[in-house]
Structure 1
Amino acid sequence: MRSNTLRADLLMLLTAMIWGSVFVAQRLGMDAIGPFLYTGLRFALAVVVLLPVIHWLEKRNRQTAPVPKLNRQLLRGGVLMGLALALGINLQQVGLLFTTVTNSGFITGLYVIVVPLLGLFIGHKTGLGIWLGACLAVVGMFLLSVGEGFVVASGDWLQLAGAFVWGIHVLLVGFFASRHDPLRLAVVQFATCSAISLILALVLEEISLQAILAAGPALLYGGILGVAVGFTLQVVAQKDAIASHAAIIFSLEAVFAAVAGAWMLGESLDLKGYFGCALMFAGMLLAQLWPRPVPQATPPKAAERAADADVAHRPSQG
């Protein structure tokens, strides 16, 4: 059991590293092509990669378990997730044109706090830790994003809007993933996101084969490693993951984004910005680690199982 948990933690750490570094690929890809074309192509590439993986898994498991059918409910769930994914990832992608990888990584990570706050509207209870964590995150974002004259970069506003969309996406994933095959859901949502983004690219952007080839390395990294591999690792890891471990390790994505931005793009922050990042990260951890209230009528063992079942879903963006 301990070996499985350690393996899951290491896989999730690798996933967070991949997702953090993908912010750099997202930024570099737009040196050659527009944000909507980059998103559309990399998610289409992820679909192409995942389809044979799903076929191989179904073929391997056919003798031990029945293969789930592609039904209308699964398609509806995947399309809804794909709509939220398309809005969230394109807000993030366009925002990267007007802000840094470091800012984008930390502001996007606020979905960890946004999710339970949005849960208030559907009857979920929110503990003191969420409110304290949200307060720290707001102060941290102020220090990170507000410049001279109390001006916030437009890209930071787009990333913040995206964090709320990611929160909605997480709630959708939590609802549909427990009812349908997660890999099939992933393919449907990736295909939906790709189709929407490519339509936007055809309408709003110039498209040329030479530019696409120039963006090839960033597309390969973002599509294969960031989306297809990152999502698959997440699914495999969370089979044996402890909820608190998953939430903490995946939130490290913001730190890895900052490291990747500094190393590969030469980005740097002033002291105020680093302090803001530290406060935002502390807020994310506080929101996840603060003990949640357990109803008195719940038996101790059941309460423990319920806490471990509350796994933090990360939006499959990469």
Structure 2
Amino acid sequence: MQTRTLRSDLMLLLTAAIWGLAFVAQRLGMEHVGPFTFNASRFFLGALSLLPLLLFFKPEVKTIDTTAKKPISLWLGGAMAGMLLFMGAALQQVGLQYTTAGKAGFITGLYIILVPMLALFWGQRTGRNTWLGALLAVVGLYLLSINDDFSLSYGDLLQLIGAFFWAGHVLMIGWLSPQLDAIRLSIVQFFTCGVISLIAAFIAETPQIADIAAGWQPIAYAGLLSVGVAYTLQVVAQKSTPASHAAIILSLEAVFAVIGGYLMLNELLSLKAMIGCGLMLAGMLISQINPKQKPMVETAH
């Protein structure tokens, strides 16, 4: 049992590392293509990378309550999740043009705290630890992102708005997952996000096959590793790991984003920003330690 737990923890840690370093790939990819073109390429590739899993994982058998309303269809549910995914991914990708990979990783990670707070609107109660975590995160965000003139930089603002959409996406997945097969739902939502991103790319950018080919390495990382491999690792690991425990490990994604930004992009954070990162990470961890809570950690990076 201990060996299985250790194996699952290592899988989740590797998942956090892949997702954290994906922020670096996302910045490098925009040296060749625009943000919407990058996302379109990435999510189409991610959807394709999950197709082989259909051969290895049988469809999940869902218990349907015959007294309840008719369950939502896979296509409608996937489309709804894909639209939220598009908003979060678009804001994140555009914002990365104006901020560092490390800061983007930490601000995006705030969705872990925002999920239980937004769930209050659906009548779900949350513990004191969530509010304490939120307070620490707000102080950390101030130290990390607020300028001397008390303004929030444009890139950080987009990441912050995006965090609300990531949180909304998690809640949407939490609503859909009891009704629909997880892998098939992911394929449909990734494909939906790719289609919307492609439409946005033709409106705001000039997609070129040659440019996509030139940026194939970061696109492949973000599409194959960040979506295909990391998603598979998360699904396998969470079969034997409590959701709250998994969320704590996956929150280390932000730390890997800072490390990757420093090693590969020469991004440096001031002492004030580093303290802010520490407070935000502490807030994320504290928000997850209540054993009565079972937070959703399904994500799409």
What is the TM-score normalised by the length of structure 2? 0.93
| Higher helix fraction (1 or 2) | 1
1:63-89 deviation digits (Å, cap 9, x = unpaired): xx989xxx9612211111111001001
Greater displacement, 144-153 / 120-129: 144-153
Greater displacement, 72-81 / 277-286: 72-81
Q: Which residue of 1 aligns with 2:5?
A: 5
Pairs within 5 Å for 1:223-234: 223-234=223-234
1:121-170 deviation digits (Å, cap 9, x = unpaired): 00000111111110100000000001222221101000000111111100
Greater displacement, 17-26 / 1-10: 1-10
- Report which of the two structures shows the higher radius of gyration computed on alpha carbons: 1
Contact 2:136/2:282 (8 A) holds in 1: yes
1:152-207 deviation digits (Å, cap 9, x = unpaired): 11010000001111111000111111221100000000000000000000111012
Matched position secondary structure for 2:240: coil
Q: Which residue of 2 aligns with 1:43?
A: 43
Contact 1:133/1:282 (8 A) holds in 2: yes
Contact 1:129/1:291 (8 A) holds in 2: no
Pairs within 5 Å for 1:94-109: 94-109=94-109
Report whether the alignment pairs 1:277 with 2:277: yes
Pairs within 5 Å for 1:29-40: 29-40=29-40
Once residues 209 and 247 of structure 2 are traced to their aligned partners in structure 1, the CA distance between those partners, rounded to angstroms, is 40
Q: Which residue of 1 aligns with 2:299?
A: 315
Q: Which residue of 1 aligns with 2:177?
A: 177
Pairs within 5 Å for 1:281-296: 281-290=281-290, 292=292
Shift of 1:209: 2.0
% identical aligned pairs? 50
Shift of 1:236: 1.1
Report whether the alignment pairs 1:57 with 2:56: yes
Contact 2:116/2:295 (8 A) holds in 1: no
Output the amino acid matched with 1:142.
Y
Q: Structure 1 regions of 5+ residues with no counterpart?
A: 293-306
Once residues 178 and 13 of structure 2 are traced to their aligned partners in structure 1, the CA distance between those partners, rounded to angstroms, is 23
Matched position secondary structure for 2:288: helix
Shift of 1:243: 2.5
Pairs within 5 Å for 1:1-318: 1-54=1-54, 56-57=55-56, 61=58, 73-290=73-290, 292=292, 310-317=294-301
Shift of 1:291: 5.2
**Cα 1:221–1:78, aligned 2, differ >3 Å: closer, same or farther?**
same
Matched position secondary structure for 1:288: coil
**Cα 1:136–1:213, aligned 2, differ >3 Å: closer, same or farther?**
same
Once residues 209 and 150 of structure 1 are traced to their aligned partners in structure 2, the CA distance between those partners, rounded to angstroms, is 42
Contact 1:33/1:212 (8 A) holds in 2: yes
Contact 1:250/1:314 (8 A) holds in 2: no
Output the amino acid matched with 2:249.
I
Contact 2:88/2:162 (8 A) holds in 1: yes
Matched position secondary structure for 2:52: helix
Contact 1:5/1:242 (8 A) holds in 2: no
Matched position secondary structure for 1:81: helix
1:63-118 deviation digits (Å, cap 9, x = unpaired): xx989xxx961221111111100100111000000111011000000001000000
Greater displacement, 29-38 / 243-252: 243-252
Output the amino acid matched with 1:144.
L
Total equivalences in the alignment: 294
